A and B are shown apart, each in its own frame.
Chain A
Amino acid sequence: MLIYREKDNLIHKLHPFTILAFIGVVLMLTLVLSHPVYLLGLFVAVGIVIIAADNYKEWKVYLKYCSALIVLIIIFNAIFSRVGETVLYKSPRLPLLGEIRITLEALAFGAGMGVRLLIIISVFCLYTYAIHPDKVLKLFNKGGSRSVLIIILATRLFPLLMKDFYRITEVQRCRGVKLDTGTRWKRIRNLLPVISVLLQSCLERSLQLAESMYARGYGSGDRSYYNRELWRPRDYLILVGMSMCLVIGVFSTLIGWSNYNYYPRLSGITGREIVITSIMTLTLMIPAILNWGWNKWPLLRSRI
């Protein structure tokens, strides 16, 4: 039921902290940097890592929905923003909307925002498809063992209750309750008793769970935990690359290099941004590069 599927490549075998840190760094840089060249660089890096993780198929679906949203954002911004100077199209006076001026700057701004949204969605795609949720939760085990236990239990119970739900609807169907036909209102009304039964069966389950936990000595003393995840050289390599990228990104934000003015006129793109962006993209691409080496080069595979 979980949408995560383990795949045989380096990115799926990284320490969960490394990949979480990767996602965190990209998210933070996306929100902090506003220059479109930097954003494009980040997008390229994330895209290559997703493809290296063999999640291109899932990513495509995200991209499809996201691009529809981006087109909407660009259109809305172009229609409602009246700040730019380079006018591309001027409409006659319309009722309600008034005069519509579509400017190059507004289009560019919409596109810039769109790239930012694209990166955020892609990063969450990576999070959903490249890390097992349990591995993430285990990371927080030391600090918040109870909350983590609750989340893990609830995740485990989800498919179980789903099965319960189907079981109860099956029973209802056998009794002649129509759950698939009839008007929408009737279907909802027939669905209601199912929820009530589900509550009772799930509370019963909860009591059994508590008794079983109690019988196994939950809460009787300090709990023991073990950690199967290993830190390997690959994790260190990727973390070093990422911290370099983070430092460069934050530095260029503080110094003002990553600012970009869309309005009133688009500002130019200098060589500096392109150089910095390529360095940042390269450092962020390290997981993908290592993955390539991991596949092609048995010696490297044994070393990292």
Chain B
Amino acid sequence: MVYTMNNRLVLSVVIATALLLLGMVVVPENPLYGINWALASVLIIGMGILTFFWQFEKQEVNSKDIALIATMASLAAISRVPFAAIMGLQPTTFIVMITGYVFGARTGFMVGAVAALVSNFFLGQGPWTPWQMFSWGICGVIAALTSNCNRLNLISFTIITGLCGYLFGWIMNIWHWVGFVYPLNMTTFFATYLLSIPSDTIHAVGNIAFSILFGKPFYIILTRYKKKLTVKYQDLSN
């Protein structure tokens, strides 16, 4: 019980700090007003990622979970490379989401975040790394939240992957907007979002295609593996 209290306390402190930071940036008449929005937004996103990682550190994890997360993250990361020629069309989001769907929110977030980080070790790190970590992590979490424990609902899963294609773009757009666009106002904000529609659509269509093609086989393979991972001890003494 103490443990959950502690968890909630840290979570609320993080949320409070993020809100405070947001307030400091937006509300006039304080020394931090007008401080670079890119910096503030990266700090807020960074806190979000750290909260998830911190939660992961606190929970009970065994070697199988660690090996699974590392391998799936690596698979998601490497799948960025062969398809890199076609911008936006990459199975990474799909792999992160199906992992989240089968193994739950914690695994889903970790796989998404680590996949972004690790693939950037090879493709080049940049200020976009935390944003990608967060976006892919959130995709994994959403897939996990919509999952129906024992059965694959391919239609709903496909729709959700499509939506997440857009969501990923929308989160990344915030970074593009605060990072590269001036002036920061509603017009440029909507312009940024309008401009990203084509690439987001490619991403979404790609996700839908991957889900239709691979949804079922991947789900079967992963659930079989999940059964292999979970060992239940039965008391046979009586």
Contacts and interface: CB of A to CB of B under 8 A. Distances in A.
Given A150-B70, A202-B75, A219 B118 contact: no
A15 to B, nearest CB: 20
B125 A161 contact: no
Contacts of A171: none
A113 B71 contact: no
A2 B122 contact: yes
27 contacts: A2-B122, A81-B182, A113-B182, A124-B124, A133-B121, A144-B53, A147-B57, A147-B110, A147-B114, A150-B73, A150-B114, A154-B69, A155-B121, A157-B70, A158-B118, A188-B83, A195-B214, A196-B214, A196-B221, A202-B72, A202-B74, A205-B71, A206-B72, A207-B228, A210-B62, A210-B63, A213-B63
A108 interface: no
Interface string B99-131: 000000000001000110111011011110000
Tell me the interface secondary structure of chain A in the complex.
Answer: helix
A146 interface: yes
Contacts of A143: 57
Interface residues of B, number: 55
A247 interface: no
Contacts of A200: 221
A98 to B, nearest CB: 14
A218 B66 CA distance: 10
Contact of B127 (A109, A120, A198): A120
A162 interface: yes
A209 B70 contact: yes
A121 B127 CA distance: 8
Interface stretch (B2-10, B17-25, B33-41, B163-171): B33-41
Contacts of B151: none
Contact of A203 (B57, B71, B122, B127): B71
Consensus secondary structure, chain B interface: helix
A90 to B, nearest CB: 21
A153 interface: yes
Contacts of A133: 121
B64 interface: yes
Contacts of B75: 161, 198-199, 202
B47 interface: no
A289 interface: no
A209 B91 CA distance: 24
A260 interface: no
Given A202-B71, A213-B63, A2 B228 contact: no
B225 interface: yes
Interface string A64-80: 00000000010001000
A254 B122 CA distance: 39
